[in-house]
Structure 1
Amino acid sequence: MGFLDIDNVTKSYGAVKVLNETEISVEEGEFLVLVGPSGCGKSTLLNMIAGLEDVTSGDISINGRRVNDVKPAERNIAMVFQSYALYPNMTVRGNISFGMEMHGVPKAEREEKIAKVADLLQITNLLDRKPGQLSGGQRQRVAMGRALTRDPDVFLFDEPLSNLDAKLRVDMRTEIKKLHQKLGTTIVYVTHDQIEALTLSTRIAVMFGGNVQQLGTPQEIYDNPANMFVAGFMGSPAMNLLPARLERVNGAMCAVLKVGDGSTITVPFPRAEDLTEGADIVLGIRPEAMTDPEGADRDSNALTETELPIDVVEPAGSDTYVTVALGGKDAIGRFRAHNPAKAGQPARFTFDMAKAVAFDPETETRLA
């Protein structure tokens, strides 16, 4: 039993079921990220934890207490919204203090807490300003400060960074990570941004179609996706998903892939050793496992080098992304910066097949 238990929870609106049987146990101090595309059920689940939505069936417990019928204000949770939800006519100090005033917290204690969270979030110099005088990042810090004064059992974040520009999102991700490391509080965080999910969480629940597709650590999700949806959703660029056939060559199981020029390549695939020879699979391989020979992980025991014709080259500063046609799909490899690869010319690729996975093309689940 965890600190926050979501036990076989569902949500329906009349005959429409938007969240299927969901089972997640969150330990105290964990940072759980619910990630998925719009409409997958992640915000609905967060709102049920908060008490803003009723549970159709199943139970939600916080710190050992079933909270299905407990009012939001009595659940000892704090929520940070996408829209900040600040009072425009109040100063930063007033916004942070307001909830404590409503709960009858003495003035001296309020001032002490305001000073503490303002120092923690580096907004002490903003306390006498109003929200209209603040940047988006500063407003989000104020919203977080208001939540922090509650000293809740669980923090709930509902896409808090989606209104910020790219640089501010990166900065605020770092601030939220630091905050969790300092306070060790239990956090449930909703986002559609898989980079946020991978960088912030201790565990991720990838959601789609009202179901948790996979629950695991960021490394587990990234290295061993449970199905093709998770493989394609998590990672930037996404995992390459390439139709292939398994064949045994010189006693070793290999994946055979068609190249854009009509030829084929055969790459040893030790992870597929227990699969059926002759089977059609979808080969999943990350761009960094399709790289130039000098950039390959020389500690790997499953490197295969081959030459492929290049379709597109995209310099991206620290990396160069190279697109080739494999299995009838565009496959992206991640080369080192300043690589001399050119579109329309062949280049040497090294495949790290220790990092490749196989999926069933019918069920889309992982086979190996």
Structure 2
Amino acid sequence: MGFLDISNVTKSYGPVEVLHRVDISVQEGEFLVLVGPSGCGKSTLLNMIAGLEGISGGDISIKGRVINGVHPSKRNIAMVFQSYALYPNMTVGQNITFGLEMHGVPKPERDRALAEVAKLLQIDHLLDRKPGQLSGGQRQRVAMGRALVRNPDVFLFDEPLSNLDAKLRVDMRTEIKKLHHKLKTTIVYVTHDQIEAMTLSTRIAVMNKGYVQQLGTPKEIYDTPANLFVATFMGSPAMNIIPAKVVMAEGAPHAEVTDAEGKARYLRFGQANLADWAGREILLGIRPEAITDPEGADRKSGNIQSLANRVTVTEPAGSDTFVTMALSGKDVIARMRADATVAPGQVFDFAVNMEKAVAFDPKTEDRIRP
């Protein structure tokens, strides 16, 4: 049993079920991120944990106590909203301590809690200002302060950074990560941004169409996606998905693909289980960073395959150069070093790390597991 348990939870609006048998167990101090496209059910699930939405089936419990039907104010959770939801007529200090005041906490205790949180968030110089006098990042800190001051069992964050500009979003992401490391709080965080999910979480639940597609650590989600949706949703640029056929050569399974000229090329797998797929079609998944120039290839890999192919596009991106080629009729992106010498139209000797390759069943779209 976890600190926060979501057991077989469903949500329906009339005859339409929008969340389907969600099972997630969150340990104390864990940072769980719910990630997925708009309409996947992640915010609905967060609102059910908060008590803002009713549960159609299953149970949600905190510290072993089932909280189905318990009023939000009795759940000992704190929520940070996308809109910040600050009272415009109150000062920063009043906004932060308002909840404590409503719960009858004595003023000396409120003042002590306010001082601690304001120092932690570096907003002690803003306590007498009104929200309208603050920047977006400052308002976000105040909203976080209002949650922190209550010392709840679980923190819920509903896309808290989506209203900030790109640089401030990166800065606040770092601040939230620092706070979690320092306070060891239990957090459930909703975002549609897979970079936020990868950088903040200890575990990620990838959601789509009301289902949890995969639950795992950032490394598990990135390296061994459960299906095509997870593979293409997580990662920027997304994982390359290449139609291929499994053929046996020298006792080992290979992925047969075609190059820009339509010539068959063979990439040896490291997975013996794919021998069972000999003669069958698969979808080959390879991350862009697993396709590079020979000098930039992973020296620790025991399975770097050489692939000569024509370059169609190069995109310098500062620290990296993205190179596009065609394989089996699909555009495939390689990530190379910034100083890699490569030009459009050139036949280049790509280095493919097949230790990082994964294979998917084209019918079910699930990963073919070892």
Measured against the shorter chain, the TM-score band is: over 0.9
Aligned residue in 2 for 1:142: 142
Matched residue of 2:315: which SS? strand
Aligned residue in 2 for 1:340: 341
Deviations 1:208-243 (A, max 9, x none): 010000000000000100000000001111110110
Asked whether the 8 Å contact 2:314–2:342 carries over to 1, the reply is yes
Which structure 1 residue ranges, 5 or more long, are not aligned? none
Matched residue of 1:270: which SS? coil
Asked whether the 8 Å contact 2:256–2:267 carries over to 1, the reply is yes
Aligned residue in 2 for 1:210: 210
Deviates more, 1:256-265 or 1:11-20: 256-265
Letter in 1 for 2:349: R
CA drift of 1:160 comes to 0.3
Matched residue of 1:85: which SS? coil
User: After superposition, where does 1:152-231 map in structure 2 within 5 Å?
Assistant: 152-231=152-231
d(CA) in 2 for partners of 1:134 and 1:345?
53
CA drift of 1:162 comes to 0.5
d(CA) in 1 for partners of 2:188 and 2:173?
14
Aligned residue in 1 for 2:298: 297
- Whether 1:306 aligns to 2:295 is no
d(CA) in 1 for partners of 2:70 and 2:258?
58
- Whether 1:105 aligns to 2:105 is yes
Deviations 1:91-139 (A, max 9, x none): 1111101111111111111111111001111111111111111111111
d(CA) in 1 for partners of 2:181 and 2:61?
24
CA drift of 1:293 comes to 0.6
Letter in 1 for 2:241: L
d(CA) in 2 for partners of 1:69 and 1:329?
51
Aligned residue in 2 for 1:66: 66
Query: Could you tell me the percent identity over the aligned residues?
Result: 69
Letter in 1 for 2:364: T
Taking structure 2 as the reference length, what is the TM-score of the superposition?
0.98
Deviations 1:10-69 (A, max 9, x none): 000001111001100001110000000000010000000000000000000011110001
d(CA) in 2 for partners of 1:273 and 1:100?
59
Matched residue of 2:101: which SS? helix
Aligned residue in 1 for 2:13: 13
Matched residue of 2:139: which SS? helix
RMSD: 0.9
Taking structure 1 as the reference length, what is the TM-score of the superposition?
0.99
Aligned residue in 1 for 2:233: 233
Aligned residue in 2 for 1:38: 38
Matched residue of 2:344: which SS? coil
Deviations 1:56-86 (A, max 9, x none): 0000001111000100000000000000001
Aligned residue in 1 for 2:326: 325
Letter in 2 for 1:24: I
Asked whether the 8 Å contact 2:252–2:275 carries over to 1, the reply is no
CA drift of 1:265 comes to 1.4
Letter in 2 for 1:234: M
Letter in 2 for 1:262: G
Aligned residue in 1 for 2:352: 351
Letter in 2 for 1:226: A
Aligned residue in 2 for 1:285: 286
Deviations 1:293-323 (A, max 9, x none): 1111011011111211111111111110001
d(CA) in 2 for partners of 1:362 and 1:260?
26
Deviations 1:148-191 (A, max 9, x none): 01110000000000111111110011000000001101000000
Matched residue of 1:366: which SS? coil
CA drift of 1:275 comes to 3.0
Aligned length: 368
